[in-house]
């Protein structure tokens, strides 16, 4: 079988050279290196925008095929096209600062995000209860207690506010801010280290996602 162009050593060489130029451009103060880094980053932004457009066109093609071939799923595809045309028209013609565009975000996107958050929360609680049935652990009980306290502190039960649970100056809110900030920073550090390691592996040709 003939090897594709992306699997050839030349593509690995281009990736290696481009990555090294961009990386060294951040550390070495050299005019030509800075110019090459800037150009490569500009090309990367353009290619990312083209890839996004291709992804949108592919999504439209898939839903158009469903409209023609699958009547059972035609309703969802039709609603997708209606939402796509509406969002594109409002955002493209009226601008992102228009009141109608802000209304779409406030009354459509934000409620959908809140609904998804609730679904994720209920799924986590259900999974945790099943986990407690199968295996008891101190960390499981701590996680369950954290979820319950988070729910009680977010919404006062029957309108009754408990001093140490509700309010910005409560001890529980302070603990959540400290622990939550520490957790988010830990996640960001993990993502950053993972991105650096993945970039190094791609840079030296150990991983070749462009050749999959």
**DSSP for 45-109, written as a single string:** HHHHHHHHHHHHHHHHHHHHHHHHH-GGGHHHHHHHHHHHHHHHHIIIII-TTSHHHHHHIIIII
Looking at the fold, whether 7 and 90 belong to one and the same domain comes out as yes
Cα 80 to Cα 60: distance, rounded to the nearest angstrom: 9
In a domain, 141, yes or no: no
Helix (H, G, I), strand (E, B) or coil at 137: coil
Looking at the fold, whether 90 and 178 belong to one and the same domain comes out as no
What range does the domain containing 189 cover?
168-212
For the chain, percent of residues with pLDDT exceeding 90: 8
Q: Which residue has the tokens 């406030």?
A: 106
Helix, strand, coil percentages for the chain (3-state, nearest 5): 80, 0, 20
In a domain, 118, yes or no: no
9 pLDDT band, cuts 50/70/90, is: confident
Task: Count up the domains in the chain and report the number.
Answer: 2
pLDDT the model gives residue 58: 92
In a domain, 134, yes or no: no
Answer with the one of 95, 115, 135 that is the final residue of a domain: 95
Asked if residues 170 and 153 have their Cβ atoms less than 8 Å apart, the reply is yes
Answer with the one of 58, 77, 95 that is the final residue of a domain: 95
In a domain, 101, yes or no: no
- Which carries the bigger pLDDT value, residue 192 or residue 6? 192
Cα 171 to Cα 41: distance, rounded to the nearest angstrom: 47
In a domain, 68, yes or no: yes
Is pLDDT of 5 > 60? no
Asked if residues 144 and 128 have their Cβ atoms less than 8 Å apart, the reply is yes
In a domain, 52, yes or no: yes
Answer with the one of 95, 118, 135 that is the final residue of a domain: 95
Cα 9 to Cα 30: distance, rounded to the nearest angstrom: 29
49 pLDDT band, cuts 50/70/90, is: very high
Q: Which residue has the tokens 């996640």?
A: 187
pLDDT in tens, 117-164: 888 878 877 887 787 777 777 877 777 777 777 776 666 665 566 666
């Amino acid at each position: 079988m003939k090897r594709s162009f992306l699997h050839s050593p030349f593509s690995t060489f281009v990736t290696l050279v481009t990555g090294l130029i961009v990386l060294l451009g951040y550390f070495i103060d050299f005019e030509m290196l800075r110019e090459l880094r800037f150009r490569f980053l500009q090309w990367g932004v353009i290619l990312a925008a083209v890839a996004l457009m291709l992804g949108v066109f592919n999504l439209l093609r898939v839903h158009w095929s469903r409209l023609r071939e699958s009547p059972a799923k035609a309703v969802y595809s039709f609603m997708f096209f209606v939402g796509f045309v509406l969002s594109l028209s409002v955002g493209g013609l009226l601008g992102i600062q228009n009141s109608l565009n802000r209304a779409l975000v406030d009354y459509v996107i934000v409620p959908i995000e809140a609904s998804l958050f609730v679904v994720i929360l209920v799924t986590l609680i259900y999974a945790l209860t099943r986990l407690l049935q199968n295996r008891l652990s101190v960390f499981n009980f701590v996680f369950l207690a954290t979820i319950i306290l988070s729910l009680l502190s977010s919404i006062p039960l029957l309108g009754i506010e408990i001093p140490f649970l509700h309010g910005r100056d409560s001890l529980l809110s302070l603990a959540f801010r400290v622990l939550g900030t520490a957790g988010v920073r830990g996640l960001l550090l993990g993502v950053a280290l993972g991105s650096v390691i993945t970039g190094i592996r791609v840079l030296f040709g150990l991983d070749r996602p462009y050749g999959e």
